[in-house]
């Protein structure tokens, strides 16, 4: 990436930002060139993850949260992720549909991403995409995960503040104490709070939080109610995002979280790179032969892997 | 450089609310392995160009049934040009009278797909055109 392009990106030029996002999505050399050029300009944005089951109102909520930040003059970047079809490799990216209030505002940049085979609720390039938006001067970066089930918890590692969105009537109090997605919430939002059963859902979530003995200085996630379609409750949610940020800063947790994230990213990149280098040195027929041997039960998978690594 | 999936923006400019056709095409392109950014109905020319820019799409596909294409399409083409997106492949479908097809093509729409077009033909057309554009960009 040439210095002029980096300058354009840092100035928030939408075309430069869009191109850089495409490059990190392509991965490989293209991604590496962009990240190497911009990395030292990152680290300023507050990264906010929004996750939850499909249809709970994540996109609409992101739209409303972004509007709040815009009223305060904060520039907002949004990465919205939807799943790639395991069969065709195609995807329908429909999150923008709920974010039309933000169009025509040059202080907002929305990018839709497909998971392209990655599990965990994010796309492989999500953390790099966030870096691009960070370097481009978007002070708040909202990351909307795919409609998540119980175990798509990757977002927690990529965000400073993670919001888990629920809708009323999504399950009983045992659902609320299960491991996984409920554990990663810094804020719990019960959206569609104009529906029946909202108080039961709030009560179940509160009960779960109360089951955990509270250590001093622990962050206790607030359970908030919103109606994203009208904007009700969103101001309160934005307030709590700010409180969480202040809590992280006061307890030096921003740095700690960042280090955890960088460790995971480093491991991932090393893994990916080693794998790529290894496979470059192996011809395809060797792998096919091994698979045949495995299928014939002549070789087990561990031994086959050993012969590949050498 | 690995080839990325073809990215297509599917939008409905103007005021008609009939989006079934656009959804059928979006779904078909998904099944053809493309990433479809679906923004739905009542899109202004400005919204369409902004989304095309931010999403860095290869293709913009417009569906229109209201008859306003003669008015809206040139404004969309102009908006795309202002954002230096002349490279983007333009296709459209919906109700475009036969007499208007050459007019629309002169505006810059490479493909005009009326009712009854097989979705597979649309996918094949897009794939061929994008491959050509990408080839030209490399050369």
Tokens standing for residue A200: 């039961």
Q: In the CATH scheme, what is the homologous superfamily, with its name and number, of domain B7-138?
A: Cobalamin-binding domain (3.40.50.280)
For the stretch A76-99, pLDDT in tens is 999 999 999 989 999 999 999 999
pLDDT of residue A176: 67
Listed by start position, the domains of chain B span 7-138
**A30–B46 CB contact, under 8 Å:** no
Question: According to the model, what pLDDT value does residue A253 have?
Answer: 93
Residue A197 has what pLDDT?
87
More confident residue, B137 or A298: A298
End-to-end CA distance of chain B: 14
**A132 touches A20 (CB < 8 A):** yes
User: Measured between beta carbons, which residues in chain B are less than 8 angstroms from residue A28?
Assistant: 1-2
Residues of B in contact with A97 (CB under 8 A): 38-40
Residues A233-270 pLDDT 10s: 999 999 999 999 999 999 999 988 889 889 988 998 89
Facing residue for B36 by CB, picked from A21, A30, A92: A92
Nearest-5° Cα angle at A156, A152 to A159? 130
| pLDDT reported for residue B24 | 95
Per the CB < 8 Å rule, is A104 touching B50?
Answer: yes
Distance in Å, alpha carbon of B99 to nearest chain A alpha carbon = 33
A239 or A307: which leads in pLDDT: A239
State the number of CA atoms in the 13 A half-sphere of B136 facing the CB: 8
- Cα gap A161→A155, rounded to integer Å: 9
> How high is the pLDDT of residue A212?
80
Mean per-residue pLDDT for B47-61?
97
Q: What is the pLDDT of residues A182-240, one digit of tens each?
A: 889 999 999 999 998 899 889 989 988 888 877 878 899 999 999 999 999 999 999 99
Backbone angles phi, psi at B91, to 5 degrees: -135, 160
Count of CB contacts below 8 A, A vs B? 86
Residue A209's alpha-carbon distances to A176, A183, B114, in angstroms, are 9, 10, 57
pLDDT band for position A278 (cuts 50, 70, 90): confident
B25: confidence class by pLDDT, cuts 50, 70, 90: very high
| Structure confidence at residue B11 as a pLDDT band (50, 70, 90) | very high
**Chain centroid to CA A118:** 12
Taking the domains of chain A in order of start, what are their residue ranges?
40-251, 266-309
CB A208 within 8 A of CB A175: no
Q: Which residues of A touch B40 (CB under 8 A)?
A: 97
Which pLDDT score is estimated for B1? 39
What residue spans of chain A are helical by DSSP H?
3-10, 14-26, 28-38, 58-71, 126-135, 154-158, 173-177, 198-211, 234-250, 253-280, 284-295, 301-309
Edge to edge, what strands does the sheet with A76-82 contain? Answer: A108-114, A76-82, A140-144, A46-52, A161-166, A187-190, A223-225
Give chain B's contact residues with A (Cβ, < 8 Å).
1-2, 4-5, 26-27, 29-40, 46-47, 50-51, 53-56, 83-84
The pTM (predicted TM-score) of the whole model is: 0.92
State what percent of residues in chain B have pLDDT above 90.
87
The closest CB to that of B37, out of A28, A29, A96, belongs to A96
Partner-chain residue, chosen from B26, B27, B50, that has the shortest CB–CB distance to A103: B50
Structure tokens at A177: 């104490």
pLDDT in tens, A5-45: 999 999 999 999 999 999 999 988 999 999 999 999 999 99
User: Measured between alpha carbons, how far is A8 from A288 in angstroms, rounded to an integer?
Assistant: 47
Question: Looking at CA atoms only, how far is residue B76 from chain A in angstroms?
Answer: 14
pLDDT, average across residues B65-77:
94
Contact A114 B35 (CB under 8 A): yes
Task: Just give the CATH number of A40-251.
Answer: 3.40.50.300
8 Å CB contact of A97 and B38: yes
The answer to whether the CB atoms of A90 and B5 lie below 8 A apart is: yes
Quote the pLDDT of residue B138. 63
Q: Which of A30, A90, A114 sits opposite B31 (nearest CB)?
A: A90
Helix (H) or strand (E) holding B90: strand B89-94
Q: Closest approach of chain A CAs to the CA of B98, in angstroms?
A: 31
Nearest Cα residue in chain A from B82: A15
Tell me, what's the pLDDT at B135?
85
Give the pLDDT of residue A138: 98
Chain B CB contacts of A109 below 8 Å? 54
Q: Predicted confidence band at A179 (pLDDT cuts at 50, 70, 90)?
A: low
Return the closest-CA partner of residue A239 out of A69, A75, A85. Answer: A69
Predicted ipTM? 0.92
Element (H, E) at B135: helix B119-138
- Cβ–Cβ gap B37/A14 under 8 Å: no
Report the half-sphere exposure of B18 (CA within 13 A, side-chain side): 10
For A147-164, the pLDDT digits (tens) are 887 777 888 888 999 999
Nearest to A27 among B2, B33, B36 (CB): B2
Taking an 8 Å cut-off on Cβ atoms, the answer to whether B54 and A89 are in contact is: no
Residue B72 contacts residue B19 (beta carbons within 8 Å): no
How large is the average pLDDT for residues A166-187? Answer: 78
């Amino acid at each position: 990436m040439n210095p002029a392009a980096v300058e354009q990106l840092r100035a928030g030029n939408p075309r430069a930002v869009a191109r850089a996002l495409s490059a990190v999505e392509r991965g490989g050399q293209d991604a590496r060139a962009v990240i190497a050029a911009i990395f030292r300009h990152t680290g300023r944005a507050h990264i906010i993850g929004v996750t939850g089951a499909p249809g709970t109102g994540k996109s609409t909520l992101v739209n409303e949260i972004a509007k709040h930040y815009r009223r305060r003059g904060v520039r907002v970047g949004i990465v919205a992720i939807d799943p790639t079809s395991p069969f065709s490799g195609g995807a329908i990216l429909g999150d923008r549909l709920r974010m039309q209030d933000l169009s025509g505002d040059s202080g907002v940049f929305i990018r839709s991403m497909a998971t392209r085979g990655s599990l965990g609720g994010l796309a492989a390039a999500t953390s790099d995409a966030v870096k691009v938006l960070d370097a481009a001067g978007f002070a708040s970066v909202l990351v909307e995960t795919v409609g998540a089930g119980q175990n798509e918890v990757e977002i927690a590692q990529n965000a400073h503040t993670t919001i888990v969105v629920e809708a009323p009537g999504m399950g009983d109090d045992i659902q609320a104490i299960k491991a996984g997605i409920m554990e990663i919430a810094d804020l719990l939002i019960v959206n569609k709070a104009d529906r029946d059963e909202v108080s039961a859902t709030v009560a179940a979530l509160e009960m779960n939080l109360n089951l955990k003995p509270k250590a001093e200085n622990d962050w206790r996630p607030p359970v908030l109610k919103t109606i994203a379609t009208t904007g009700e409750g969103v101001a309160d949610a934005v307030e709590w995002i700010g409180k969480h940020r202040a809590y992280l800063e006061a307890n030096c947790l921003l740095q700690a979280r960042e280090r955890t994230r960088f460790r995971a990213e480093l491991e991932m990149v090393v893994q990916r790179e080693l794998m790529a280098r290894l496979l470059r040195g192996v011809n395809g027929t060797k792998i096919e032969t091994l698979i045949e041997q495995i299928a014939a039960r002549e070789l087990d998978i561990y031994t086959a892997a050993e012969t590949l690594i050498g | 450089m690995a080839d990325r999936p073809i990215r297509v923006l599917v939008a409905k400019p103007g005021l008609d609310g009939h989006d079934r056709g656009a959804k059928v095409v979006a779904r078909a392109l998904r099944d053809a392995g493309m990433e479809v950014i679906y923004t739905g109905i009542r899109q202004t020319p400005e919204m369409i160009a902004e989304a095309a820019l931010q999403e860095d799409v290869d293709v913009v596909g417009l569906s229109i049934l209201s008859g306003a294409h003669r008015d809206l399409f040139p404004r969309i083409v102009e908006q795309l040009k202002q954002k230096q997106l002349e490279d983007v492949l333009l296709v459209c479908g919906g109700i475009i009278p036969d007499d208007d097809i050459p007019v629309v093509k002169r505006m810059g729409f490479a493909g005009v797909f009326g009712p009854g077009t097989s979705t597979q033909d649309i996918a094949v057309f897009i794939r061929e055109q994008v491959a050509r554009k990408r080839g030209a960009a490399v050369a």
